[in-house]
Chains A and B, each alone.
Chain A
């Protein structure tokens, strides 16, 4: 019996494969490049200066719908001078096998979102640059840039509060289209985030018109701009996708 117990770490090692979760930033079909000017569907020209967001409650989804949950919370940050392609968001271990997708939230879990930020450790806490002083809790998703209007204007999207935690579900249990075979030696799961999708128009053609001052500062839950925050939120839910191929073995 004692001998079997000594062998247990070897079994455990065999049951856990290293996984890297990576991200490509895109604008439409192209890799995002800082410093490059893009255009919204409404022909407003813009550049991206900063993207930061929290990623949490990650889980791999098995064919039977059960999940391998990944503990932890990461803060992803992209800014000029840094990489935008194949950036590792987090590393974890999961049992080798077949999965039918991955799910995660963009945001901070509710149970962490309302603790005293003055005492929380990185990536939470006030030094993260994501704490919302006037509105307890964290900014979950921060996108900032410039719009080339006359004159040039800065715009920000600071999405947060529990109502705007973004659930991303990249899984398919109904059809055989999506299969992730994680080998024992591990692999990388590659995601795409189409940042340009944030600016897609909504029902009735509503869009984030940066000519309007209040739409250049999109914060929180304000009823005055909530419809537009909701529009960006809906866009972002669909802005994440799995790359092709979604999983690269080591």
Chain B
């Protein structure tokens, strides 16, 4: 393990892991320790404790928005796995409503593609979007730099961390460093994988078998330890998409209705679902896929009626709920700092 990350984990705690370290798996006498996957650090933005602390302050600070009412955390709330807590669309400056559901930031440091279209390659660039979008935080690079420079504690912190005054670029670097610490690997599913065979209920175990089978067919897109392929797909949510998705960026007809596969970690905390928050519950999401979606020429080839029974739908939902990591949402090191 990278020495710097080791230091981070020790510093930041991850209380759930510490708790786990004291557990013994009944009947096996072995420790059950889920594996934490650490994001790669970009060479131009190495993690440091001071940078993470600065990013954390910025993440929760509404002064980063033009009218001082919106912070990153306004739409990415810790209690909801850093999604927007039941809101279909988030509200930006002046109460303006966005057009898409705020995604969870669970393990966002592992995303290779960001935004619902998946068109941003790294956290340092992604953050420019919400900070400057007219209906989100609506800041200009000049206004942001001036405002932070006028706050002595920020002016000093930026110089200590980056050796230069505040700027939009440095704000995004600090935010990215904090977001790379949003790590969640302590769900019942993780503990089950680590050897605690009682961590999953029988229903969740049946759901897991379905999830990873060709019959349930969830795992082709929600793949790997992050439960996402980071790739846009058309999931036949609509026949005519009001929001055209990836096509907005590419202009190609075949990209209409394509949105990036979201992670399913902590998915039970991130309702409502889909890019537009149009499906209120997990069960209804599973039912959508079970029906095979709506007729759509761009629909992914894997979208078709699945023929799952009501019991199987319940089992899949039980499995999805087992991906919830309460130690993540309660981790004090990820919550608002004492002094914003």
Taking Cβ atoms with an 8 Å cutoff, the residues of A that contact B are: 116-119, 125-129, 131, 133-136, 154, 156, 161, 163, 217, 220-224, 226
* Residues of B within 8 A of A (CB-CB), count: 34
Q: In the complex, which residues of chain B have a beta carbon less than 8 angstroms from the beta carbon of A222?
A: 244, 247-248, 251
Within residues 109 to 151 of chain B, which ones have a CB less than 8 A from any CB in chain A? Answer: 115, 117, 119-122, 124-130, 132, 134, 140-142, 145
Asked whether, in the complex, the Cβ of B247 is within 8 Å of the Cβ of A223, the reply is: yes
Q: How many A-B residue pairs have CB under 8 A?
A: 82
Q: Separation in Å of the B332 CB from the closest CB of chain A?
A: 30
Q: Separation in Å of the B65 CB from the closest CB of chain A?
A: 16
Closest A residue to B45 by beta carbon equals: A118
Write the B235-253 contact mask toward A (1 if CB under 8 angstroms, else 0): 0000000001001111101
Asked whether, in the complex, the Cβ of A136 is within 8 Å of the Cβ of B251, the reply is: no
Q: How far is the CA of A126 from the CA of B141 in the complex (A)?
A: 8
Asked whether, in the complex, the Cβ of B248 is within 8 Å of the Cβ of A126, the reply is: no
Q: Say yes or no: A126-B168 contact (C-beta < 8 A), given A217-B134, A221-B251, A223-B247.
A: yes
Q: In the complex, which residues of chain B have a beta carbon less than 8 angstroms from the beta carbon of A125?
A: 169
State whether the Cβ of B172 lies closer than 8 Å to any Cβ in chain A: yes
State whether the Cβ of B44 lies closer than 8 Å to any Cβ in chain A: yes
Q: Separation in Å of the B225 CB from the closest CB of chain A?
A: 26
Q: Say yes or no: A128-B141 contact (C-beta < 8 A), given A118-B124, A134-B119.
A: yes
Q: In the complex, which residues of chain B have a beta carbon less than 8 angstroms from the beta carbon of A217?
A: 134
Asked whether, in the complex, the Cβ of A226 is within 8 Å of the Cβ of B251, the reply is: yes
Q: Separation in Å of the B173 CB from the closest CB of chain A?
A: 8
Asked whether, in the complex, the Cβ of A224 is within 8 Å of the Cβ of B125, the reply is: no
Q: How far is the CA of A156 from the CA of B138 in the complex (A)?
A: 13
The secondary-structure label for the interface of chain B is: helix
Taking Cβ atoms with an 8 Å cutoff, the residues of B that contact A are: 44-45, 115, 117, 119-122, 124-130, 132, 134, 140-142, 145, 167-169, 172-173, 244, 247-251, 253, 256
Asked whether, in the complex, the Cβ of A127 is within 8 Å of the Cβ of B126, the reply is: no
Q: In the complex, which residues of chain A have a beta carbon less than 8 angstroms from the beta carbon of B134?
A: 154, 156, 217
Asked whether, in the complex, the Cβ of A221 is within 8 Å of the Cβ of B168, the reply is: no
Identify A223's interface contact among B44, B117, B120, B244, CB under 8 A.
Answer: B244
Asked whether, in the complex, the Cβ of B172 is within 8 Å of the Cβ of A136, the reply is: no
Q: Separation in Å of the A234 CB from the closest CB of chain B?
A: 16
- What are 21 sample pairs from A and B whose C-beta atoms fall under 8 A apart? A116-B122, A117-B125, A118-B122, A118-B173, A126-B141, A127-B145, A127-B167, A127-B168, A133-B120, A133-B125, A133-B129, A134-B115, A135-B117, A136-B125, A154-B134, A163-B251, A217-B134, A220-B249, A221-B248, A221-B251, A223-B256
Q: Separation in Å of the A221 CB from the closest CB of chain B?
A: 3
Closest B residue to A128 by beta carbon equals: B141
Q: Separation in Å of the B270 CB from the closest CB of chain A?
A: 20
Identify B129's interface contact among A134, A163, A224, CB under 8 A.
Answer: A134
Q: Separation in Å of the A231 CB from the closest CB of chain B?
A: 15
Q: How far is the CA of A118 from the CA of B140 in the complex (A)?
A: 16
Q: With contacts A116-B121, A223-B248 known, what are 8 further pairs, Cβ within 8 A?
A: A116-B125, A126-B125, A127-B141, A133-B125, A134-B119, A136-B120, A217-B134, A226-B251
Q: Separation in Å of the A213 CB from the closest CB of chain B?
A: 11
Give the 9 A-B CB pairs with smallest separation, nearest first.
Answer: A133-B129, A221-B251, A133-B128, A118-B124, A222-B248, A135-B249, A129-B141, A127-B141, A134-B115
Residue among A117, A127, A136 having the largest count of chain B Cβ atoms under 10 Å: A127
Q: Separation in Å of the B233 CB from the closest CB of chain A?
A: 18
Closest B residue to A130 by beta carbon equals: B141
Asked whether, in the complex, the Cβ of A119 is within 8 Å of the Cβ of B132, the reply is: no
Q: In the complex, which residues of chain A have a beta carbon less than 8 angstroms from the beta carbon of B125?
A: 116-118, 126, 131, 133, 136
Q: In the complex, which residues of chain A have a beta carbon less than 8 angstroms from the beta carbon of B119?
A: 134-136
Q: Separation in Å of the A47 CB from the closest CB of chain B?
A: 17
Q: In the complex, which residues of chain B have a beta carbon less than 8 angstroms from the beta carbon of A226?
A: 251
Q: In the complex, which residues of chain A have a beta carbon less than 8 angstroms from the beta carbon of B256?
A: 223
Q: How far is the CA of A128 from the CA of B45 in the complex (A)?
A: 19
Q: In the complex, which residues of chain B have a beta carbon less than 8 angstroms from the beta carbon of A117?
A: 125, 128
Q: Separation in Å of the A117 CB from the closest CB of chain B?
A: 6
